[in-house]
Amino acid sequence: MKKTIKIASNCLYAVAITLLLVMIFMVFSSRASGGEPELFGYQFKVVLSGSMEPTFNTGSIILVEKLNDTKNLTENDVISFKQGENEIVTHRIIEVVNNEDSVYYRTKGDANEDPDMNAVVAENVVAKYSGITIPLVGYFLNFASSPLGTGLLLIIPGILLIAYSVITIRKAIREIEEKTNSVTRTDPSEKSA
Taking alpha carbons only, the member of 150, 161, 172 closest to residue 31 is 150
Q: Name the active-site residue from 49, 146, 165, 182.
A: 49
In the predicted model, is pLDDT for residue 91 greater than 90? yes
pLDDT at 30: 61
∠ CA(160), CA(60), CA(15), 5° rounding? Answer: 25
Rounded Cα–Cα distance for residues 105 and 56 (Å): 21
Residue 93 — very low, low, confident or very high, per pLDDT cuts 50/70/90? very high
Residue 29 — very low, low, confident or very high, per pLDDT cuts 50/70/90? low
49 is catalytic: yes
Alpha helix stretches (DSSP H) within the chain: 2-33, 137-145, 147-185
In the predicted model, is pLDDT for residue 143 greater than 70? yes
Average pLDDT over residues 32-56: 76
Higher pLDDT among residues 123 and 39, named by residue: 123
Residue 109 — very low, low, confident or very high, per pLDDT cuts 50/70/90? very high
Residue type present at position 60: S
